[in-house]
Every structure is written in structure tokens, then in C-alpha cells.
A and B are shown apart, each in its own frame.
Chain A
Amino acid sequence: MAEILTQREKQIFRKGTECFDMSCEKKSAAGSVSQRACVFCGSRVVLYPIVDALHLVHGPIGCASYTWDIRGALSSGRQLYRMSFSTDLQEEDVVFGGEKKLYRSLIELIDRYKPKSAFVYATCIVGIIGDDVDAVCERVSKEKGIPVLPVHSEGFKGTKKDGYKAACVALFKLVGTAGIGGIEKNSINILGDFNIAGETWMIRDYYNRMGVEVVSTITGDGRTDDICRSHGASLNVVQCSGSMLYLAKMMKEKYDIPFMRVSYFGVEDTSEALLKVAEFFKDTGIIAKTKELIREETEIYLPEILKYRDKLRGKKATVYVGGAFKAFSLIKALDMVGMSVSVVGSQTGNQDDYARLREMCDEGTIILDDSNPVELANFSLEKKVDIFIGGVKERPMAYKLGIGFCDHNHQRKEALTGYKGMLNFIKEVHSSLMSPVWRFTSRNGNAL
């Protein structure tokens, strides 16, 4: 029985044993149990936290059912985004087309819920049955006086990454549609944080303390009106660059807004991010305040974090994430408490990402692109890792094998960004690693 499919051999790399020629950015092999989702998933996850928008899934019911309130993204205002709306296409719609149903659904929902904007997600069959989603959106937008934006997220038209792009294209239609009066010179947009467990609020608070105005948060706790005037900001600060870099690039091109890539995971990366932003504005006041903030936060949290080092030192982890950028931060964060990463991979990394991972990792580390449960399990066992850091799909696999687990994906309820987030993260890693239950599991040979 093949543990690794032939088509996937070049997507697996063992540092130190082979020359580096990582294949990536490919469609998943047919029949592989990929951990990836689809184009729709990419769009849905990016746009989901826009809290005052109507999110209507145009297609049969499944796509809407499986994405109903599944994320930990919080809102300081409306809760509309947590509802699941679908045109719920039926056989007759497939035969005669779904445009009428889409139109009437939009009118009904907009009248009822009074959203600030609406996103219409086209799923797999919409194009095939010939619906002109753009035309329906345009018509409803005119009639109802709010932006109604088609999101071309047909599941099969690429990977999750293409879904991010489709979401950015839709968002970009909002940008530049409102006035920018009153926006300060020292201002930014926070891109690519999704306010999981209030993370955007933590980051926003840092910037407020630094004296930097946050014009919009895209999309964590996102508001339509803020996005419409986001072109008034002086800088786009992009986290989770896989999803939002495309929007930043479009804004650079059209509005000449520069962007920088940052990460807020880990003490080191958070400090670096904030300082980079401060230095961008060349304002001594901001720089001073930022250094003060970093000093204060580090003084509070670093000793707390380092308390765990003795217990965690020498422990090994598997890290499997959506975008590779997060993996860089996690490797550094784990290193801070003396842990190493033995298996690392991402669903959507590119050549540069994997080259960087290779530089960061120790000899023997296994690097994976678009992996599957069989590989993840076998490599984690081979490397005898103590904890698996990934998303909810990997959790039961880790537990089944008697391996600890920390959720680092959108469904989690713990804030993991910034200084406090790093402490939360290390606490969670600790609480899973140190649990006494593992000694009873089969992997540790403790059968009756």
C-alpha cells in the first residue's frame, strides 16, 4: 500500500537529504484526501467577518449549511454575518436557471435585514446553469441603493487561494466609494486579521496606543463604510498575506498606498511589526510611543511566557497551517520556549515560502505542501512529535494517535495574536502537552 502518492512525491521535502526542488501551488491530486477546501471556502472565510453585510450563498444548500457560524470571528456591532443565507437551488432551478430566485432572495433579505452591503457567493453550478450573477447584483444594487457584490467563488475554479483573490476583487469594488475627509496622515488599514476571539481589537488597541489611526480593519470586525473609505489610509499593514496581499497590491496600483507584510504571532514578530509601522511614519512621537508599548507589553508577558520554558524545552511539534506565513511565526514562537518543529507544512505555500521554511528549520525537518491525513500522521509519528499545531480537521487525528493538539485556525476561541496572545498560545500548548492522559494511549504502548 502506497503511503505517499507518486503525484505527491515532489511536494514533500526532507531537509538535509535531498536537493531542494519543492513542487507547490498545484491542484490537489484526484483521490488525495487533501486538507484544503475550495475556492468558495477561500472567499467565504475572508469575507465572513464583515459584520454588517449580507452574505448570500447562491447554490444548493450544502455550501451554506457547512459554513453557518463556524468561525470564531467576533463583532462589536451587528451579528448579521453569523447567519447563513442560501438560495437553496432545487432541481427545477438547475433546469430553468436560478436568477429569479437569486433576485427575489436578495430583495427579501435586504428588506428584512437592512445590511450595509451584500456579497453573493457563486458556487460550483451557478455558471454552468448560466446564471448572470453580475447582472442580478447590479440590478438589486440599483434598486436597493447598497453595494451588492458578486463573488466568483465557483469551487472548482482553482484552489482556496483563488477564493481569496475573488474576495479581494469584490472588496476592491467597495474601496474608494466614500469620502476620506478627516483621516489623519498617520493612518493605516489592518489587512488580513479576522478578529478571531477579538484579535483585531488587540491589534487595533496597539495602534491606538502608538498614535496611529486605524481607518479600516479588513476584514476582522469589518464594516462596509470603513472599507469604502479605506483608500484614505497612508499604509496597508498586511497579515496573513496569502489572503489579502492581492487587495493591498490593487490598492497600491490604483491609490498608490504602500503596503507592508507583518505577522502578529509571537513576541518577536509582533514587536517587529509595530516598530516597522512606526518607522514608516518617521514620526519620533510615534516611534517613542511604540518602543514604550513594546517595553511595557514585553515586561508584562515575556516573563510569564518564559515560565513555561523549563517544561516545554526539547519538545517537538508538527505545524500544519493554511498559509505558510503563519508557519514562520509559529516556528519562532515555539523556539522562544525551547521547542522545535519536526514537521511543517501548508495548504497553499509558494516556492519562496518553502525556501524560507527550509532555511528556518533544523536538519531532518520534513516540509510538506498540500498534505493529507496519512502523510501528516505518519511523519508526525516518525518524528515522535509531542504536539500538533493545526486546524480543526487535524485535531481528531492527533488525539487518536496520542499527540497533543493546539488549534491555530479560524474556528478557535482563544486569541493568539500579540503579546497576550503569545502567552495564551504557550499556555494552550502546555495544557495539551502536559496532560497526564497520553500515557494511556495505544501509541505509548499502554494497552490493557
Chain B
Amino acid sequence: MNVINKAQTNTATKNPCKLCSPFGASLVFKGIRGTIPILHGSQGCSTYIRRYFISHFREPVDIASSNFVEETSIFGGEKNLCEALENVNKQYNPEVIGVATTCLSETIGDDVPLFLNDFLKKKGAEPFPDIIFVSTPSYSGTHMDGFHAAVRSIVEYYSRSRQTESSASLISQAGKSVAVFPNFVSPEDIRHLKQIILDFGMKFVFVPDYSDTLDGATWDKYKKIPEGGTPKDDLLVLQKISSVIEFGDSLDGKDSAGKFLGSEFGSKRYGLGLPVGIDLTDNFLNSLEIISGRKTPDKYIAQRGRLVDAYCDAHKYLFGKKAVVFGEEDMVMSIARFLCEIGMIPVLCASGAKGDKMREISQQLFLEYKNEIIVRTKADFVDIEEESEVLNPDLLIGNSKGYSLSRKLGIPLVRVGFPIHDRFGASRISHLCYKGTQELFDRIVNAVIAKKQSESVAGYTYM
């Protein structure tokens, strides 16, 4: 196996395979009930990020901005931030306001925690929504770093808050609960994960849970903050929950929300790879068996059975087929392991992230493939294109940003992850567990078959 980390050169990024960190924080805030995010910076940050969300989720996404002007960047952003907090409170009546910084406010050195402290002090006894702060300088890391930082901020904020009466009643049942930090997955994935945990007879607290807020029904009037998301009362219970499942290999060894609960409150952390494929889903369900003390419900055994049956039925279509996988590092790593499981070779695994863990894990995991797999971190799409032209893959697996490459190489793109803005139904794409894997597997097999069929001289009608 070959691991390439684009050296720290002073050269440009060409067609980026990453977004900036305030994006990830905004997404997480969308998964907390009654929350409106404020990005502390220029108007453009929130508008661009909203537009980007909308192209994928096809839902209204309101994100406020503290709207810097020239004087703000000279005298600091305190005044604007306070005004933004007041205005957002007036117009949105939120339960929670999520404040994330941007490159601008970080560069001018705004001490936002201090601003917030003073702001709340001035408010005195006057009730005001909870304000959760996360530092997301856009020049550091990717959208996933913003995502994980926001999860941690929320968890830290509420597990240190005083509990309310309603949360106290939940705490008594907290023994049968599990906290889940699901990583950046689709609303459909979150719904599926929740159902699985329910089927194990447990309650859950997801951070975040945007399964309703970013994929909901039509409205009879404008809902400033869409229904859904994890309620505050549930977040207050986090410190009492003894088991935490945290998805994403990249978080291993990092100062994550799960780690925090472990070190502060002694919760047991289950750090798992995103459950794509049989092995990784087995790991997840095994963990749930341990946590719940129950056996895996029959319906999942049946789903697993069907998936294995499908693996067998389709194995010849896939054996030795080469795939290029790109996107967020945790999704890439899990899909790569799944591909190995079904006899395909993830010849190139690429992410725009720094990806220390990605390189480390891939070294252990893909030993048997030796030189057949290239792992590329800090990659952009020009890197991916250059590699792909040499590797001659059969398939691309990743987001819509791979479409021009797919068109150029004349090979199919199986769309996963984010963003998917050239197909319909991105919110309802399944990736996880036996059922999600089944859907993904069927799509991969069919992409391979369709290509073979359309290229067949005879135009076979049976494949």
C-alpha cells in the first residue's frame, strides 16, 4: 500500500475536496431542537453555507450572520455579535443559539467567549436562550473538524449545566440509554440508527439529530426553526449515560465529545468505524448487545442474512473491480473496508482532510493488498483525477463533485455522502448497517452491470 500525503507545498488547491469548518458547526446546530446558528463573520459565510445545504437537502436552512462591516474588523465584533444575538432572539425565539466563528473573527482576534460572558452578565436575570459557542477558524482543518468541535461544545455545555426537573426524570432511566455521536451521515441513516437502538430496548441521545429538521414534511406556515432535533432535556442527561457510541475512525485518539464524557463522567466510550458493510455493522451490534444486555433482534439477523446472500449472488460481478473512493475521511475508510469485504479493490482512497488516522488505519487494514491501494490525504480533485487516470478504475464512489471525473473517464459514479446536488433524494440515501449497506451494495452492483450491459455489443437483456 502506498500512502501519499501531499507535502506541505506552497501551491494552490485545485477543485477542493473539503469545505470550511463553520459549515460543519452549522450542520450540527441544525440537529439540536430549537436552535438557530449565528456565524460570526461576513454575510457571505452564512449565505454560501445555506446555499450549499439547500442544494443537497432541499430544505429551508436559516443561518444568521453577525454581518461584519469594515469598522467591525477594525474595532472588533462584539457590538455586532450582541446585536445579532438580540435580533435572532427576537425574530426566531430559539431555545438555543449556536455561535460559530469564521476566519475573519478569528483573525482579528475576537474573544467571543468573553463577549458572550459579558452579554449574559448584562442580561442579568432576564431569560435568554442557551448560547453555545464553538471556535471554527476556516483556515484550520475541514468542515469535519468544525462538525466534531461543535458536537463537543454542545456535549460539554449541557453536561456541565444544572439539570432541570424534566431532565431529572429522564436520568432515572438513563441506565437504559445510549449516547450516539453519529458523524456526518444522511437523515435516513440517523433514522435507521435510532430505530435499531429502540429495537434493542434502549433510549438514545443523538448529537446531532437533523433527521427531521433537514428532511421534513411541508408546512402551513413558515417555521422559523423546523421541528425535530435533539431536545435540551435529553442533552442534560448526557453526563449520566454510561455508554457512548462515537462513530468515526478519525476521532480515535482525539479530544472528542465521547472522550470528554469518558474522562469527565466515566462513561464507557465505544469508538467505532461508521457501520458500512458486515464487519463494521457486526461491531456496532455487538456493542449494542453489550450495552443493552440483549441479543440482536431477529429482524437484523434477517437483514444480515439477506445481505450475505446478496454478496454471494453478486460476487462475480464485483471481484477484482477497482474503485476510487473520495470524500470525508471516516466515510471513505468505512466504504473502503466494505469494498474489500465484497472483493473489490479501493485502489484510491482520497480525502481533503489532513487524515492522520486515515493513513494509520489504512496501513493496518489493507496489509493484504500491499501495493494495490493508494491512500491520499489533503487531496483535491485534480490530484484524484491524476491518480485515477493512471489507476484506470471501474467505478467512482463519492459525492457529486466526482461527476466531471466520471464523465471524463466514462465510468459510473455511485453517489454517497455529501454533497449530492446532481441527483434527487440525497437525504434519503442509506449508507449504514445491514439495510443501508444492502442499498449501497445493490447500487454498486447495478452500476457495474449497467456499464457492462451498455458496452456489450449484443445488448444483452439478461445480465
A residues adjacent to B (C-beta < 8 A): 1-5, 7, 27-41, 56, 59-70, 83-91, 93-94, 100-101, 104-105, 108-109, 123-125, 128-129, 155-159, 373-374, 377-378, 381, 392-393, 395-397, 399-402, 440-443, 445
Contact = CB atoms under 8 A, between A and B. Distances in A.
B23 interface: yes
Contact of B87 (A31, A84, A156, A378): A31
B271 to A, nearest CB: 27
A378 B222 contact: yes
Given A34-B47, A37-B48, A377-B222, 4 more contacts: A37-B47, A90-B139, A94-B137, A396-B60
Contacts of B9: 104
Contacts of B401: 68
Given A29-B83, A94-B139, A65 B16 contact: yes
B107 A85 contact: no
A445 B219 CA distance: 10
B62 A88 contact: no
Interface stretch (B38-46, B291-299, B308-316): B38-46
Interface string B40-71: 01111111111110110111111111111110
Nearest to B89: A31
A41 B44 contact: yes
Contacts of A69: 404
Interface residues of B, number: 75
A104 B92 CA distance: 46
Contacts of A35: 47
B13 interface: yes
B43 A36 contact: yes
B139 A91 contact: yes
Nearest to A113: B14
Contact of B140 (A68, A91, A124, A128): A91
A4 B92 CA distance: 10
22 contacts: A29-B87, A30-B67, A31-B65, A31-B66, A31-B85, A32-B67, A34-B43, A34-B65, A40-B44, A60-B103, A61-B20, A62-B22, A65-B20, A68-B16, A90-B140, A109-B12, A124-B42, A156-B104, A392-B54, A392-B55, A396-B59, A400-B59
Nearest to A79: B404
Given A30-B81, A66-B19, A155-B104, A442 B217 contact: yes
B91 A31 contact: yes
Contacts, number: 251
Contacts of B81: 30
Contact of A373 (B15, B62, B67): B62
Nearest to B138: A60
A156 B68 contact: yes
Given A38-B47, A64-B16, A373-B62, A105 B104 contact: no
Given A90-B139, A91-B137, A441 B218 contact: yes
A329 to B, nearest CB: 24
Interface in B11-29: 11-16, 18-20, 22-23
Contacts of A27: 67, 69
A431 B136 CA distance: 43
Contacts of A443: 218-221
Interface of B: 9-16, 18-20, 22-23, 38, 41-52, 54-55, 57-70, 72-73, 80-81, 83-88, 90-93, 102-104, 107-108, 137-140, 142, 217-222, 224, 401, 404
A421 B231 CA distance: 49
A65 B19 contact: yes
Contacts of B23: 62
Contacts of A393: 47, 50-51, 54
B44 A63 contact: yes
A374 B36 CA distance: 13
Given A31-B91, A38-B47, A93-B139, A401 B219 contact: yes
Contacts of A395: 54, 58
Contacts of A108: 11-12
Given A90-B139, A393-B54, A374 B10 contact: no
A40 B66 CA distance: 17
B72 A84 contact: no
Given A85-B12, A86-B16, A105-B10, A38 B218 contact: no
Nearest to B93: A1
Contacts of B92: 1, 374
Contacts of A159: 43
Q: Which 6 A-B pairs have the closest CB atoms?
A: A38-B44, A62-B20, A31-B87, A377-B222, A31-B84, A155-B42
Contacts of A32: 64-65, 67, 87, 91
Contacts of B67: 27-32, 34
B223 to A, nearest CB: 8
